[in-house]
Structures are given as structure tokens and as C-alpha cells.
């Protein structure tokens, strides 16, 4: 079929469905969000939920190609789309999609995630970030950082995603802040303190003992040197700093290297501060990478 002028990109996760109506060049024309995440749906309910969510756009434009990605393609989603192994670019991703037709004749394309089978002890996985990387562009070899609950460091080489590694930084931060001994000592509502964040990064840079370093969130208070207002940002610096230290140890960069932050999780500026402190020359990519990448794979599928 001919590629329609407009397309729909659906980022369908555990707790929400976020959709964008995009034009020919990936520019966002409209967007919507519902709380119909996959955790609220049972098998057999996904198609109806999607048709309801997208009804305003289907009414206006008729059938449109739809790309769906995120946890919707996981084991607990609508259909499980197998991971495509690295190295992978748009061609490999398009080959790994799953397709079906919606009741109004729209093509629905499920985008796959990718895995890196070279990682130990098990292949590493991503589901969504690969599409951001494609949208960012693969024309230049590069090191990319995608901050998040489960941050990813990835290498682009010869037009494809060559490999990547996950760090559960955001997860550990949330656990510490919400459920640990640190939770009881932190100010409510939370305060962001850039200086305390940099302090935490600095401590993390010089510590090989993360399990011990985290206790400084308590001892700093006992010593009267870390206030409850500083605690949250200090701890965030500790864990993000450990991510950068450990990524360095794992060979992701040497001091003076360049890297690009590709993310839409609200953490880009924090990661930029960290990268500078660790001697990485870093820039932040545009925040429309997901739509652009999904469109690139969708086009390759439907052309």
C-alpha cells in the first residue's frame, strides 16, 4: 500500500497509552494519553481499547498506519514480539515486526525490541529505546545514553545499534527514596538541590564501594553535615554517579570521549551534569526521537 501522509505512533506501556499523530516528516500534529496501560487490560481487550483511544483521529482521517511499541509487545502485553538481536538498524527492526489489520482497515505494526546476546550472564534487552536511537539517527558512529528507570548505554556503529548495557539506576533511586532508611530522613515534599546533587556525584566518582557509599545518606545526617532538604538530591547524585563510574569501568567511555543523551524521561539535564563531571563531552538530542524512529521503521515495513 502507499504510505499515508499521516501516521500514528502508540507508546503503550504498563500504566498508560500515549499516542501521537505525526505528519510526513515526523512532526507531531496532535497527541493523546489514556490510562489504559497494559496492566489494566486483559487478553482480548486490547483492540477495543486501541480503537477507542484512536477514534478521534480515525473519524477525521480514516484509516492510518499505526506503529505500536513498548510493553504492549512484551510477554504481558497484546502479542509478544521476539527481540531482534544486535547489531540492528531499521531494516532488521522492520523485519522483526508483527502486523495485523484493525477493524477500520488501518495497518497496525508492532515494533520489536532488541537484545544484545554478547552481554553476560544473560542477553541484555531493551524495548522502546532502540526506536529512540533509530530516531536520533544512525549515520554517525556514537555512544548514546538513554536515562531512565533502567538506563541504557548503547553504541551505534556502521548504521546499526551495535550493542548496549542496562543500569537499573532509576529503580534503585526510587527504592531508596521511597522505601529505605533514606525515605524516613527526607523532606516532604521533595526538594531538588543542584549543589547536593553534584556533591553526591562527586562522592560516587571516588568510591568503588557502592553498598557502603549509600550509607553516607544516613551518616551525613548523623554528622550534621547533610540536611533532610539535601538528602534526596545527594542520593540521586550517588546513584547516577555510580552509573557513570560503572559505565566507565565497563568500557563505555574514556575521559574526553563524546556521547549523546537521548531521552524523554525528564532526566536529561541531570545526566548532562553527571557527564560533565565524569569528563564526557556530551550533548542532548531532540526529544522527538521516538516518533521519528517509529516512523522510520513503519515506512520500511509498509513500503
What residue ranges bind a second copy (CB under 8 A)?
A: 75, 119, 121-125, 150, 165-169, 171-172, 175-176, 178-181, 203, 208-212, 214-216, 218-220, 222-223, 225-226, 239, 242-243, 246-247, 249-250
- What Rg, from alpha-carbon coordinates, does the chain have? 21
Strands 114-116, 84-85: pairing kind: parallel
Terminal-residue alpha carbon distance, the chain: 7
Residue 123 or 279 with smaller CB distance to a second copy: 123
Close Cβ partners of 255 (under 8 Å, ≥ 6 residues apart): 278, 279, 280
Q: Minimum distance between the CB of residue 124 and a second copy, rounded to whole angstroms?
A: 6
Q: Judge whether 301 and 109 are in contact, CB under 8 Å.
A: yes
Residue 95 or 181 with smaller CB distance to a second copy: 181
Using left for φ > 0, alpha for ψ between -120 and 50, and beta otherwise, residue 91 falls in: alpha
Residue indicated by cell numbers 565524569 = 278
Query: Which is it for the CA torsion 181, 186, 190, 195, positive or negative?
Result: negative
Residue 168 or 191 with smaller CB distance to a second copy: 168
Q: Minimum distance between the CB of residue 6 and a second copy, rounded to whole angstroms?
A: 35
Q: Minimum distance between the CB of residue 80 and a second copy, rounded to whole angstroms?
A: 11
Residue 53 or 182 with smaller CB distance to a second copy: 182
Give dist(CA 101, CA 299) in Å, integer: 16
Q: Minimum distance between the CB of residue 132 and a second copy, rounded to whole angstroms?
A: 18
Q: Minimum distance between the CB of residue 177 and a second copy, rounded to whole angstroms?
A: 11
Residue 152 or 292 with smaller CB distance to a second copy: 152
The kind and range of the H/E element at 195 are helix 194-205
Give dist(CA 256, CA 235) in Å, integer: 26
Three cell numbers at 78?
497484546
Residue 100 or 179 with smaller CB distance to a second copy: 179
Q: Minimum distance between the CB of residue 15 and a second copy, rounded to whole angstroms?
A: 14
Three cell numbers at 101?
489489520
The kind and range of the H/E element at 84 are strand 84-85
Q: Minimum distance between the CB of residue 73 and a second copy, rounded to whole angstroms?
A: 13
Residue 168 or 272 with smaller CB distance to a second copy: 168
Amino acid at each position: 500500500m502507499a504510505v499515508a501522509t499521516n501516521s500514528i505512533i502508540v507508546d503503550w506501556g504498563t500504566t498508560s497509552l500515549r499516542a501521537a499523530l505525526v505528519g510526513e516528516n515526523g512532526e507531531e500534529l496532535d497527541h493523546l494519553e489514556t490510562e489504559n496501560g497494559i496492566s489494566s487490560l486483559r487478553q482480548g481487550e486490547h483492540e477495543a481499547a486501541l480503537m477507542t483511544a484512536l477514534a478521534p483521529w480515525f473519524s477525521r482521517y480514516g484509516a492510518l498506519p499505526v506503529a505500536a511499541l513498548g510493553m504492549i509487545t512484551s510477554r504481558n502485553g497484546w502479542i509478544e514480539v521476539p527481540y531482534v538481536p544486535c547489531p540492528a538498524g531499521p531494516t532488521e527492526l522492520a523485519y522483526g515486526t508483527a502486523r495485523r489489520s484493525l477493524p477500520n482497515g488501518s495497518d497496525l505494526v508492532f515494533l520489536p525490541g532488541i537484545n544484545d546476546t554478547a552481554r553476560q550472564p544473560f542477553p541484555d534487552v531493551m524495548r522502546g529505546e532502540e526506536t529512540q536511537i533509530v530516531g536520533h539517527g544512525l549515520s554517525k558512529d556514537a555512544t548514546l545514553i538513554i536515562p531512565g528507570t533502567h538506563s541504557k548505554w548503547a553504541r551505534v556503529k556502521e548504521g546499526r545499534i551495535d550493542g548496549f548495557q542496562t543500569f537499573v539506576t532509576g529503580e534503585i533511586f526510587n527504592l531508596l527514596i521511597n522505601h529505605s532508611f533514606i525515605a524516613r530522613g527526607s523532606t516532604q515534599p521533595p526538594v531538588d538541590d543542584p549543589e547536593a546533587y553534584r556533591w553526591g556525584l562527586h562522592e560516587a566518582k571516588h568510591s568503588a564501594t557502592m553498598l557502603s557509599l549509600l550509607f553516607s545518606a544516613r551518616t551525613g545526617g548523623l554528622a550534621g553535615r547533610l540536611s533532610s532538604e539535601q538528602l534526596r538530591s545527594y542520593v540521586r547524585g550517588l546513584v547516577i554517579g555510580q552509573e557513570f563510574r560503572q559505565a566507565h569501568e565497563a568500557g563505555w567511555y574514556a575521559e574526553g570521549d563524546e556521547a549523546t543523551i537521548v531521552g524523554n524521561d525528564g532526566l536529561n539535564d541531570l545526566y548532562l551534569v553527571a557527564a560533565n563531571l565524569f569528563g564526557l563531552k556530551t550533548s542532548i538530542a531532540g526529544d522527538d526521537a521516538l516518533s521519528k524512529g517509529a516512523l522510520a521503521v513503519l515506512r520500511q515495513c509498509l513500503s
